[in-house]
Chains A and B, each alone.
Chain A
Amino acid sequence: MKNIWVLYRKELKSYFSSWIAYLLMAFFAVVFGYFFYAATAIFVSRGMQAMMMGGMPMDMNEWIVRPLLMNVSVIGLFIIPMITMRLFAEEKRTGTIELLMTSPVRDYELIMAKWLSAVTLYAAILAISAVNLTYLFVYGEPDWKPILVGYLGLLLQGGCLLAIGTFVSTLTRNQIIAVGGTFAICMVLWVIDWVTAYDSSTWAEVLRYLSVVTHFEPFAKGVLDTKDVVFYVSMIFFGLFLTARSMESLRWRA
């Protein structure tokens, strides 16, 4: 436990002492800010129309929060490869991996520390969107429970892709390859859903099950379904398991 903490702090420190954390935060703030503006603008204009027709007031959760959460889940696909690219690749390139792997630390402690630091950075980036969302509470009365479920979903989806990115980062010493590889996998896991949309064969079902974005939809609606949580948690374990195997083979081959 102590080892995880020591390594975790080192990883976080290294994120925040380079430009990468700030760049990602700035990127997210701008993109999210734009979507937030667009969603509220539509909401306001539609809301006006509805009021004039004498209809029901529109639901903020349905009209603003849900599409925003879906957007964030897709923005994450672009941010995550940038978070995980350096985790192992950089240590392999500079040779510091020799220090870590000859220290009295177990492989899983190193992997957990790296993955947790990546999750922490991702959470910090997501937290920026909270600034925008507080406006909703100032000007309206959205339901906060579905929002929490949505963020839980974002963290789970992020955790799963970050685990995969951590694995990819062990395969190379080149950060560009790591970022490209993770991005490609993220895209495939996203796009699977569209490709198999009109196919109802068993294979299509299996593939569709792997789509990380499909599993996120219920979270965006504020629905907490065990089967989606199980999907994400098992994907996290699978990703970290692959990382552990890859580290072992690093030992055998390197």
Chain B
Amino acid sequence: MIKVDRLTKRYGRTVAVDEISFTVEKGQIVGFLGPNGAGKTTTMRVLTCFLPPTSGGATMAGFDVLKQPLEVKKRIGYLPEIPPLYPEMEVAEYLSFVGRLKGVSKSNLARRVDEVCGLCAIGDVRFKLIGRLSKGYRQRVGLAQAIIHNPDILILDEPTAGLDPKQIIETRELIKELAKVGEHTIILSTHILPEVEQTCEKVIIINKGKLVATDSVENLTHRLRGAESISVEIESRNGELDLSEAQRRLEQIPGVSRVILKDNKGPRAAFEVESLEKHVVRGDVARAVVEAGWNLNELRPVAMSLEDVFLQLTASDAETAAAGGAQ
């Protein structure tokens, strides 16, 4: 459905997107993951024919973004980072306007507006001015706008950015719902790792304009879960805690690769324990602490930051390459 081929986009001297290639099959929900400035928005703007690529290209639903932009535009729905809304319009009026612009026929228009209002749960504000809506509603009107013409492909740029936790959950549910109901192929960008795990089937990771990895979400979580890092806080029951003793005991647990002291105040100390790939050490850590006669105040997995993900992915890629070379 989407085929991106060595796509490059430069702004003057900055290379925003550097020779990335990937494909997306029909009906997939794909997460486009990368930190700020990675080139997500730029890529999406090329895919939606808003910007021409500097070199390379892309085909959307079988049409080339450079040669047949009108055909591409008919088949995509796009929600930019900031929803493109007209505050002086009423919701239903706005959706009708966008519908007509995207080629919904006059006879189908009212029905489509009803349908998307229902899907996006904005029926109760359809006669309100967009300028008066809350952020969550605006985002949903933005989504409704993107699907009004029932496009083959939906492109959503950070659809949950700036929303509160409840709205984020609602929006994610809505996106999953859309994938089911409309059989759309969806690309959504995000800089939040768990978002991809919760919403998407496939993930494309980019950093500084370069493709880092494309994989199914299942494989990716597997690769990342391999090595885990947990935060442990222990407390001695009688006076000062013997730090070196604690460190030694933690390091002796099978499967632990590294123990780092994070904090120490009187009888309390916090460590970060990293485990080897495919070892689950949480239970052993808990037992070791209790057996030594200390209190276990806290034990939780450390959420992996995107930076860690990149480090790990690039490192494991390098390892595989090295292993391949050695064979």
Contact = CB atoms under 8 A, between A and B. Distances in A.
A252 B70 contact: no
B101 A103 contact: yes
Contact of B88 (A17, A98, A106): A17
A252 B66 CA distance: 12
A98 B101 contact: no
Nearest to A3: B101
B102 A104 contact: yes
Interface residues of A, number: 26
A102 B49 contact: yes
A251 B51 CA distance: 5
Interface stretch (B73-81, B185-193, B284-292): B73-81
B22 interface: no
B52 interface: yes
B126 interface: no
B80 A98 contact: yes
Given A18-B88, A102-B49, A251-B51, A95 B97 contact: no
A98 B50 contact: yes
| B: interface residue count bin | 20 to 34
Interface string B86-101: 1011000000011011
A147 to B, nearest CB: 36
Interface string A7-21: 100100110011000
Interface of B is mostly: loop
A96 interface: yes
B193 to A, nearest CB: 27
A254 B86 contact: no
Interface string B11-53: 1000000000000000000000000000000000100111110
A1 interface: no
Nearest to A9: B97
B102 A95 contact: no
A253 to B, nearest CB: 8
Nearest to A16: B88
A179 B208 CA distance: 39
A106 B74 CA distance: 12
Interface in A12-35: 13-14, 17-18
A200 interface: no
A192 B68 CA distance: 45
Given A6-B101, A104-B70, A104-B102, A96 B84 contact: yes
A99 B98 contact: yes
A100 B97 CA distance: 11
Contacts of B301: none
A84 to B, nearest CB: 18
Contacts of B145: 99
A6 B100 contact: yes
Q: Which of A10, A13, A18, A105 has the most CB of B within 10 A?
A: A10
26 contacts: A2-B100, A10-B86, A10-B97, A14-B86, A18-B88, A94-B82, A94-B85, A95-B82, A95-B83, A95-B84, A96-B85, A96-B86, A97-B84, A98-B45, A98-B84, A99-B78, A100-B101, A101-B49, A102-B76, A102-B78, A103-B98, A104-B71, A104-B74, A105-B101, A251-B52, A254-B50
Given A94-B86, A104-B73, A254-B50, 18 more contacts: A6-B97, A10-B86, A17-B88, A18-B88, A94-B84, A94-B85, A95-B81, A95-B83, A95-B84, A98-B48, A98-B50, A99-B98, A102-B48, A104-B102, A105-B73, A105-B101, A251-B51, A252-B51
Interface of A: 2-3, 6-7, 10, 13-14, 17-18, 94-106, 251-254
Interface of B: 11, 45, 48-52, 70-71, 73-74, 76, 78, 80-86, 88-89, 97-98, 100-103, 145
Nearest 10 CB-CB pairings of A with B: A99-B84, A104-B73, A96-B84, A102-B48, A17-B88, A95-B82, A6-B100, A104-B74, A98-B80, A103-B101
